Amino acid sequence: MPETTSERVIRVIVATQKLAAERVGEESTFRELGIDSLDGLNIVFALEEEFAIAVPDEDVKDFTSVREVVAGIDRLLAGKDA
């Protein structure tokens, strides 16, 4: 079974931030995880590569939790398929 968007986003965050996988869930906020704006940019670059998409700058500023990132990626993927 292929990974869900959520699972892929969490995997990228865990890998880029070198966090324990059990620490990161869809309800996690970047503040809870100690992710600052520079870390956030690194995550976005990794997500763009993972999903083969471009994340607009205006979307990036709205990402403050894993759930928001997943929702944003899902929107971008839906637009890419259309």
> Which positions are catalytic?
36
15-45: string of b/e by CB count within 10 Å (b at 16+)?
ebbebeeeebebebebeebebeeeebeebbe
29: phi then psi, degrees, rounded to nearest 5: -100, 160
